[in-house]
Amino acid sequence: MTPMLAALIGALVVGGVLVAAMGLRRSQPAQPKPKHPRSRPVEGWWGRWRWLVAAAAGLLAWAITRWPVAAVIVLAAVVGLPYLLGSAKVAARAIDRVEAIEEWTRRLADVLATGVGLEQGLLVSASTCPPQLTKEVGALVARISARWPTDQALRAFASDLNDAAGDFVVASLLLASRRRGPGLSGALTAVAGSVADEVGARRKVEAERARPRSTARLVTLITLGVAGLLMLNGSFLQPYGDGLGQLVLAAIAAAFAGCLLWVRALTLTPPVPRFLTAPESGGAL
């Protein structure tokens, strides 16, 4: 391998590291913005162009090394690393969603405390709901405005939320829609407090899980950097040039990806089973 080819391969690996780092960059803890196309410029760009970038990087790796396995590894790394090392963003979005449910519940309780009815309070809550729930609350309001029975509209709302915390809130609203008694505002405030406790517990767990995530991210970036440096040495790559070497290289890459997938699975909280389901599926309520 000539020094020029080695330098090109090293530049390719460094470029892959930079692209992966862009995909793994954590979002800023700012206030969530409405789901508008302009609110996610980087994510939208990456979603549209990641396969094109990955294919170009893979073809370049194939053209330089003449190794089909190298092309597949580079393509998979560009596309897959942001997913394998992006569990922190997934967990943060899940926690933010539960926190939005808690915030919406408190605001609804404040509205109901003024003495308005349940349906009217739900309609009013659409104007002050958190951005994460705009779609779900908007659908609930549309169903109520279309004269759906309140219990059916609330069950559909729970299905839209698809979260155990949402079931907890909707169950209280279902009971209130049947009994029509006083005290709903206080009950919702208590429910919101329970959901807030859950949010706090989840944040503590995620703070502990940040350490293995950071370790996995650091090990991955170091591995890619070392691989890029070793590629500058032609004798290091020579054993991988034949068919057996290609199989060994593929096995090493697959094992590394499997370890990252395992770390991702270990650092994600499994969803809490829901207890409020549609009547035809045997729900509790």
SS3 content of the chain, % helix, strand, coil (to 5): 80, 0, 20
228: confidence class by pLDDT, cuts 50, 70, 90: low
| In the predicted structure, residue 207 carries a pLDDT above the cut 90 | no
Distances from the Cα of 232 to the Cα of 10, 64, 89, 190, angstroms: 7, 13, 35, 63
141: confidence class by pLDDT, cuts 50, 70, 90: very high
Query: Using one digit for the tens of pLDDT, what is the confidence trace for 79-91?
Result: 888 877 777 788 8
Closest CA to 106 of 139, 130, 123: 130
Per the structure block, which two tokens stand in for 249?
A: 């290289």
139: confidence class by pLDDT, cuts 50, 70, 90: very high
Question: 54 or 125, which is more confident?
Answer: 125
28: left (phi over 0), alpha (psi -120 to 50) or beta: beta
Closest CA to 50 of 40, 39, 58: 58
Distance from chain centroid for Cα 10? 32
| In the predicted structure, residue 232 carries a pLDDT above the cut 90 | no
| In the predicted structure, residue 10 carries a pLDDT above the cut 50 | no
Average pLDDT, the chain: 76
Assessment of whether the complete model's pTM goes beyond 0.75: no
Question: 224 or 205, which is more confident?
Answer: 205
Query: Using one digit for the tens of pLDDT, what is the confidence trace for 37-74?
Result: 333 444 566 667 777 877 887 787 777 777 788 788 88
- What pLDDT score does 47 carry? 66
- What pLDDT score does 135 carry? 92
114's CB contacts (< 8 A; 6+ apart) are none
Spatial distance between the Cα atoms of 36 and 6, rounded to a whole number of angstroms: 44
- What DSSP assignment string belongs to 132-172? GGHHHHHHHHHHHHTT--HHHHHHHHHHHH-SHHHHHHHHH
Helix (H) or strand (E) holding 209: helix 184-230
Tokens 């009815």 identify what position?
Answer: 117
